[in-house]
Amino acid sequence: MASSAIDPEDTTAIARQLGRVPRGAVAVAHRCPCGEPDVVTTHPRLPDGTPFPTTYYLTCPRAAAAIGTLESSGLMREMEARLASDEQLASDYRTAHEQYLAVREGLEHVAEIDGISAGGMPTRVKCLHVLVAHSLAAGPGVNPLGDEALALLGDWWTPVSCADHAESW
């Protein structure tokens, strides 16, 4: 799950990436190869009490932009159609959904979102940002559709660190 607690330097980086102070973030779940946080683990209940099902939240604006391009390409419709016809893929995606729920439950039980993961899991594909964040945080082999989208992104962090490129966001 989360690889490190959020220290003030990471909080500053995440706020720069998001353009706002992060809400409910409890840990850095993954770091970009450039060294910046790119996924945070978020508490399932935000500080204002709002239930929040997105356990893994993508913070890297460069990755988010690249994923937005994938979403606009029709990839999500293709993936969802495959879920309907590929029993193994559907089974693996359901397992990813269950893993996601188990991690969130380990943070806190929130009755309002019980059984609801994110990104459309387990039967739909609604948000590649969430699926890629899950793949980055959980590692390869956990979320098959997140892994596929991640492979299509290429090296979003190149040619320079996201921190060096921050002024262009």
Query: What pLDDT, in 10s, does the model give residues 12-67?
Result: 999 999 999 999 999 999 999 888 999 999 999 999 999 999 999 999 999 999 99
Three-class secondary structure of residue 32 per DSSP: coil
| Domain membership of residue 112 as a residue range | 4-154
Instruction: Please check whether residue 119 lies inside any domain of the structure.
Output: yes
Instruction: Please check whether residue 129 lies inside any domain of the structure.
Output: yes
| Beta strands at 4-5 and 56-58: parallel, antiparallel or unpaired | unpaired
Instruction: Please check whether residue 169 lies inside any domain of the structure.
Output: no
Domain count, the chain: 1
Q: Per-residue pLDDT for 3 more than 80?
A: no
Instruction: Please check whether residue 159 lies inside any domain of the structure.
Output: no
Q: In this structure, are residues 10 and 28 in contact, taking their beta carbons and an 8 Å threshold?
A: yes
Nearest of 106, 107, 131, 117 to residue 26 by alpha carbon: 107
Calculate ∠ Cα 61-62-63, nearest 5°: 90
Three-class secondary structure of residue 164 per DSSP: coil
- pLDDT tens profile 86-133: 999 999 999 999 999 999 999 999 999 999 999 999 999 999 999 999
pTM: 0.91
> What pLDDT shows up at residue 51?
97
Instruction: Please check whether residue 9 lies inside any domain of the structure.
Output: yes
Q: Per-residue pLDDT for 2 more than 50?
A: no
Instruction: Please check whether residue 142 lies inside any domain of the structure.
Output: yes
| Greatest C-alpha distance within the chain | 46
Instruction: Please check whether residue 167 lies inside any domain of the structure.
Output: no
Distances (CA, A) of 51 to 22, 78, 132: 15, 30, 21
Q: In this structure, are residues 26 and 107 in contact, taking their beta carbons and an 8 Å threshold?
A: yes
Question: What's the start-to-end Cα distance of the chain, in Å?
Answer: 28
H/E element, 5: strand 4-5
Instruction: Please check whether residue 168 lies inside any domain of the structure.
Output: no
Judge if the upstream peptide bond of residue 122 is cis by omega within 30 degrees of 0.
yes
Distance CA 83, CA 75 (A): 12
